[in-house]
Structure 1
């Protein structure tokens, strides 16, 4: 598990390898899909770019009154009309022949923010969207190394970056030893700290997570936690003579640490629940020997994604949040958890095909091999404590489904577009009643739909009535090198959200 510094921040990541099998196949079957669309047609009058009307009212979607420094949990409501319109868009221009990495995407009620190379940009969200100029841009000392998936209830997040060129002259190339807290609505840097003894923190091994009032970072040879409000250091560790170290964290309602022991073929893992402000271990769970890798898609309830006997995830393991005892093991041979989309930017807590609710785990399946009569894929809901399948949400012919986020006890699902006729959709699915409620119907730009819909290549977020699609890598078209590249697109309702 030893990682050295990357040759360059722009090195082609593993995201570019083995990408988008289903999306490319769907494009190849466009002629057949068009015929099917005639049968399945609904909402044919919807346009992906709808400029009329406006959203004059929006409800507060907070599920409960949260403390400002709690990791945000919102409860979404169905709009009066699911007809979609663009509410924000940005095209990145002046791309060089190299790939420009864009690892982070966050949304509030006002702003969608993007971490791109050595800056974070915020773009306004609104029905009167008419240009892609940034509302604010925050220049960073160096390139972004690790991003948190978490946003606080009052709209803050944290990132790890490289130091400024002058300050990094005496360090190894590629070191990532600065952490900063950002207000996403204003772009204001709230505080910035130099991480202690972080000479071996790189883009390949640094992970950051947020939990109530605490920012926690781990890397190859150390870890540190800061007070979210003022940046005061709460605790830190270094490898010293120990053969075990915190290699990553998962945040949210709790803080889980992935502890790695040994190296290479002798590597073993355990998972620890930590008291966030002290780093004290509350309980620990030892992962069986022979496991090649572990990810933490959820801290509370605690869920592990393990690669047993392979480099890809083979099982999900659920633990009792009270004592860390194993509850169930869920085989993943028929599923696509997407926990291995590259090796950069702190992926310990990121599984793009898995969503964990309060008592259900939602996992997207592998693509169907029968392309003529069966849905492209499906999402299965598993009972958290028993590990048994309890409900299933099917995609459609040539239209895959992706679990986006929990919505109380429901699941928000993105269903991709079939062609220029059948729209893409965001729906709310109740796994107990099997009720499907449409939230948004829209079309993505045809040339970008495949990549934007692919969880291996793009972030798909839904927040406060809007869905956002954002590429993690921005590369110019060599045939048209001066053309701008779509970076982020947001779609919201053309009507009002229900109160």
Structure 2
């Protein structure tokens, strides 16, 4: 098998995708038309520019435009009254005796609101109430099938979507197919709607991508794509016709970009299109240069591409203007954007938007460097690149034995996670102003010593900062071989000791 997960509930999905690829190659030899099917974050206060549960005010900062409930949430954090961290959530996963490192229980998706930390685990989503030193599962939503694709995006009023793999009988023609979209209220755990994707018999855990933009949920799986209205799940548009060019994935948020691949995998060309989310009609098209082996879309507005040119890892960033014209290119030599490196480089649960070493703001892209192992020097650093010129503008240095990772923007500042150094120095979330080079501590805390390495690795763990709290959610859960029946730490969350509510 050329790709796929280790033996697990997803194996049939990967096997089915592989069989499809082999059959496609055979048809090409026979001269028939072939179609590509491949995988393609506790403050004393905060401000979420939204209506709903996440609304608040921040003193001393420019007020952003108020968001509607259907907008994709953009939270502006406020400096906490105290950066001293305290435990808010510590949740363990049970019954992992059959789950090993080669056959883990997958846990894709970590989302936070003001009240709930929600986690996707296997065939369910669980909501944990955020309270100091209090582990309470507020709700559990059984999905009726294993998770196949998730998105980091959450609406301003706390909703998100997932794609699931409904169970099929062994040997069934559609065994392993991921063809159901579920829209969920994260505050209550209520399923708002569920829809079957049209003509999605080739949608698998290895090639299905999901995103959200204002009022719209969009899914692509290579041979097709579909968009739904958030309000009621009404289908807005779909593309399922056989064509030489196919929607490989989407990037959402403020806008909707489509990554389109044309031709066979070994000689594919790519283009990026901005779509009208309500109709699916292209508004502009950017043609990616030939020879590029892969494309990621870390930001839709401003539009930014991370391309792999002559390598499997991202080698360059390309920024576009609002008409889809090229603005600047930035070489990633010496940097580690971490695009597509989750799940041991297997394209599970959606990859198009996932670059865990890269954050894009309104005017700058923030990229972490590769690890530096020299003594008496920072273990790594983050550089801010100007999206208009491509030039580096500012640099945030980590510390020796304390790597730093970009999390997300907060207004025009960057939120950064800095790893701890055992008893020498605590872990931290800080805010960095690249214009003034000012660093502001938000949270200082210690992670459990036995779990610190994995929890601090963005290739293995979701690290989410939201409303002054930081959450760590492991993506793969496996038993401790020394105590295979014991629960295993799945999620931990920390907030400010100065929190009053």
Q: Deviations over 1:24-49 (max 9, x none)?
A: xxxxxxxxxxxxxxxxxxxxxxxxxx
Q: What corresponds to 1:355 in structure 2?
A: 359
Q: What corresponds to 2:79 in structure 1?
A: 78
User: Which consecutive unaligned segments of at least 5 residues does structure 2 have?
Assistant: 15-41, 50-63
Q: What corresponds to 1:210 in structure 2?
A: 212
Task: Tell me if structure 2 keeps the 8 A contact 1:84–1:491.
Answer: yes
Q: What corresponds to 2:223 in structure 1?
A: 221
What is the alpha-carbon distance in structure 2 between the residues aligned to residue 315 and residue 183 of structure 1?
37
2:453 is paired with a residue whose SS is helix
Answer yes or no: is 1:110 the counterpart of 2:98.
Answer: no
How many residues align? The count is 451
Give the drift of 1:265.
Answer: 1.9
Q: What corresponds to 1:233 in structure 2?
A: 235
Check 1:193–1:6 CA distance in 2 against 1; reply closer, same or farther (3 A cut).
farther
Give the drift of 1:58.
Answer: 4.5
1:448 is paired with a residue whose SS is helix
Q: Deviations over 1:193-225 (max 9, x none)?
A: 000000000000000000000000000210000
Q: Deviations over 1:283-311 (max 9, x none)?
A: 00000111100000000001101000111
The worse-fitting range, judged by mean Cα deviation, of 57-66 and 299-308 is 57-66
Q: What corresponds to 2:325 in structure 1?
A: 325
1:449 is paired with a residue whose SS is helix
Q: What corresponds to 1:490 in structure 2?
A: 493
What is the alpha-carbon distance in structure 2 between the residues aligned to residue 369 and residue 164 of structure 1?
47
Q: What corresponds to 2:386 in structure 1?
A: 383
Task: Tell me if structure 1 keeps the 8 A contact 2:215–2:231.
Answer: yes
The worse-fitting range, judged by mean Cα deviation, of 299-308 and 482-491 is 482-491
Give the drift of 1:3.
Answer: 7.7
Check 1:198–1:176 CA distance in 2 against 1; reply closer, same or farther (3 A cut).
same
Q: What corresponds to 1:306 in structure 2?
A: 307
2:207 is paired with a residue whose SS is coil
Q: What corresponds to 2:339 in structure 1?
A: 339
Give the drift of 1:9.
Answer: 3.4
Check 1:366–1:255 CA distance in 2 against 1; reply closer, same or farther (3 A cut).
same
Check 1:6–1:258 CA distance in 2 against 1; reply closer, same or farther (3 A cut).
farther
What is the alpha-carbon distance in structure 2 between the residues aligned to residue 330 and residue 101 of structure 1?
34
Q: What corresponds to 2:468 in structure 1?
A: 465
Aligned-residue RMSD, C-alpha: 2.1
What is the alpha-carbon distance in structure 1 between the residues aligned to residue 194 and residue 166 of structure 2?
11
Answer yes or no: is 1:416 the counterpart of 2:419.
Answer: yes
Give the drift of 1:126.
Answer: 1.8
What is the alpha-carbon distance in structure 1 between the residues aligned to residue 178 and residue 239 of structure 2?
17
User: Which consecutive unaligned segments of at least 5 residues does structure 1 have?
Assistant: 15-54
Q: Deviations over 1:451-477 (max 9, x none)?
A: 000011001110000001111000111
What is the alpha-carbon distance in structure 2 between the residues aligned to residue 478 and residue 150 of structure 1?
35
The worse-fitting range, judged by mean Cα deviation, of 474-483 and 301-310 is 474-483
Task: Find the partner of 2:397 among 391, 394, 400.
Answer: 394
Matches within 5 A, 1:23-172: 58-62=45-49, 63-95=64-96, 96-97=98-99, 98-127=103-132, 129-131=133-135, 133-165=136-168, 170-172=172-174
Q: What corresponds to 1:185 in structure 2?
A: 187
Moved over 6 A (4+): 2-7
Q: What corresponds to 2:56 in structure 1?
A: none
Give the drift of 1:4.
Answer: 8.2
Check 1:281–1:430 CA distance in 2 against 1; reply closer, same or farther (3 A cut).
same
Task: Tell me if structure 2 keeps the 8 A contact 1:5–1:173.
Answer: no
2:76 is paired with a residue whose SS is coil
